[in-house]
């Protein structure tokens, strides 16, 4: 029997099946360390939260009880959800988590620690965690999330059970948006394609005119770069677009999270909160504030994803791949680019976008990274002067 907490996870039937079996057999013991790997957008953290909720719930993850709702709202006292805004997780942060791992639980059977971006640890920091994984505290379960197995030290990998996720297909994403969120199927398909199958991004594109404007602005600016000065201006414009997008996402997400937390405690908006739960709300607000930097980086990442969609289209035209374009509405522009260059040149641009992504992650100043990238996007129409 599997509970409702798994329902909204998409395109991961194999992973879910394995985890459901673990939950069903939890009384004969649960492995103490897990590694969830998958690309950005595959839903790693959501799967980790569902697994935690199912383990803690008396009904294997019903989705309705207070325990389930607190876990899904990242407010359960025995489930710690750690994600970082920084390029690296500090050794002190990991020490703090390890200290928490040995505390006894307050309302449920397991103490669960979810560590997002576990690839962002130096070797020294990893070793603090390794010690804990070698001599696990009773009843404690770690769930580490990372892009791939090779992002972690072999010594850590050897202690963990690996669950590998894949990026869902366009039609799976569209179906989910249609069934779960009641979005028109055709709208959902376009959004899924434009978001290159990132569920959260697809949902925003399908439901928010701000998000759609953000995307069309990004594409228009990228396609309009035709000399050095427009490249410099485009870089600045991209930064503005990302900032605005990040603010909008923060606003939407902050409200949703607060509503989820209120619902988990059984309150409605405007109710006076008893002192016993106020600290949970304070913690939520603090987390939301700390998240700002990360949201800007995510905003920049969405811009890079949109640019990628342009150059993947150009490449697909150049190679005569015959696949459906991500941006059919810009076909003329895309064909012009395809005809004026070679596939090698397009691959170089795509590599430039990947390296921009890495440089942003390693804290090179945002504007510098964008300027360097925009210079690579300068397009002079053949025959024009
Ligand atoms: Zn439950």
- Å from CA of 249 to ligand 1 middle: 29
- Is 1 a residue whose pLDDT tops 70? no
- pLDDT reported for residue 303: 93
Residue 2's pLDDT is what?
Answer: 65
Give 31 Cα–ligand 1 centroid separation in angstroms: 21
Rg, the chain, Cα only: 22
Q: How far is CA 200 from the centre of its chain?
A: 8
- Place 384 in a pLDDT band, splitting at 50, 70 and 90: very low
**What is the whole-number distance in angstroms between the Cα of residue 55 and the centre of ligand 1?**
9
Q: How far is the CA of 182 from the centre of ligand 1 (A)?
A: 25
Q: What is the DSSP letter of 79?
A: E
CATH level 2 (architecture), domain 4-164: 3-Layer(aba) Sandwich (3.40)
Closest C-alpha to 299, from 243, 250, 232, 353 = 243
The closest alpha carbon to 373, from 318, 300, 297, belongs to: 300
Return phi, psi of residue 183, to 5°.
-85, 140
Retrieve residue 279's tokens.
Answer: 């600290």
Ligand 1: distance of its center to the CA of 6 in Å?
A: 11
> What proportion of the chain, given as a percentage, has pLDDT over 90?
60
Tell the burial category of 65 from Cβ atoms under 10 Å away from its Cβ (0-12, 13-18, 19+): middle
Give 140's strand partners.
Answer: 111
What is the 191 CA–ligand 1 centroid distance (Å)? 32
For residue 141, the surrounding DSSP H or E stretch is strand 140-146
Looking at the chain, the domain(s) classified CATH 3.40.50.300 span 4-164
What mean pLDDT is reported for the chain?
Answer: 90
* Residue 49 CA to ligand 1 centre (angstroms): 12
Mean pLDDT, range 134-155, rounded to an integer: 92
164 vs 286, more confident: 164
User: Is residue 78 within a helix (H) or strand (E), and if so which, with residue range?
Assistant: none
Q: pLDDT digit string (tens) for 227-262?
A: 999 999 999 999 999 999 889 888 888 888 888 888
| 131-135, 189-193, 267-271: range with lowest mean pLDDT | 267-271
Q: What is the pLDDT of residues 307-351, one digit of tens each?
A: 999 999 999 999 998 888 999 999 999 999 999 999 999 999 999
Determine how many CB atoms are found less than 10 A away from the CB of residue 284. Answer: 18
- pLDDT of 216 > 90? The answer is yes
Q: What is the pLDDT of residue 382?
A: 61
- So what's the pLDDT on residue 385? 40
């Amino acid at each position: 029997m599997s509970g409702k907490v798994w329902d909204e996870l998409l395109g991961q039937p194999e992973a879910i099946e394995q985890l459901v079996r673990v939950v069903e057999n939890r009384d004969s013991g649960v492995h103490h360390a897990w590694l969830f790997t998958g690309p950005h957008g595959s839903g790693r953290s959501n799967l980790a939260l569902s697994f935690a909720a199912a383990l803690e719930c008396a009904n294997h993850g019903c989705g309705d009880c207070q325990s389930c709702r607190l876990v899904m709202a990242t407010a359960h006292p025995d489930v710690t959800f750690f994600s970082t805004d920084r390029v690296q997780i500090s050794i002190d942060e990991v020490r703090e988590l390890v200290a928490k791992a040995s505390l006894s639980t307050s309302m449920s059977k397991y103490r669960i620690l979810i560590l997002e971006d576990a690839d962002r640890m130096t070797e020294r920091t990893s070793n603090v965690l390794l010690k804990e994984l070698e001599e696990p505290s009773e009843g404690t379960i770690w769930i580490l999330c990372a892009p791939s197995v090779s992002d972690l030290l072999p010594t850590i990998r050897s202690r963990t059970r690996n669950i590998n996720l894949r990026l869902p297909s366009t039609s799976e994403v569209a179906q989910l948006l249609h069934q779960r969120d009641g979005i028109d199927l055709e709208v959902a398909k376009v959004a899924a394609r434009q978001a290159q199958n990132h569920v959260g991004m697809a949902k925003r594109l399908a439901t928010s005119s701000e998000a759609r404007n953000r995307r069309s602005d990004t594409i228009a600016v990228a396609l309009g770069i035709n000399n050095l000065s427009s490249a410099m201006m485009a870089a600045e414009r991209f930064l503005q677009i990302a900032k605005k997008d990040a603010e909008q996402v923060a606003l939407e997400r902050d409200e949703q999270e607060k509503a989820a937390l209120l619902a988990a405690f059984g309150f409605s908006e405007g109710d006076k909160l008893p002192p016993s739960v106020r600290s949970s709300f304070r913690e939520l607000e603090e987390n939301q504030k700390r998240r700002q930097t990360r949201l800007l980086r995510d905003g920049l990442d969405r811009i890079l994803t949109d640019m990628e969609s342009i150059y993947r289209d150009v490449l697909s035209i150049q190679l005569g791949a015959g696949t459906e374009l991500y941006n059919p509405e810009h076909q003329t522009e895309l064909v012009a680019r395809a005809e004026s260059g070679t596939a090698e040149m397009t691959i170089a641009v795509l590599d430039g976008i990947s390296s921009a992504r890495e440089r942003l992650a390693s804290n090179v100043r945002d504007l510098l990274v964008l300027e360097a990238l925009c210079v690579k996007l300068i397009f002079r129409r053949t025959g024009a002067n």
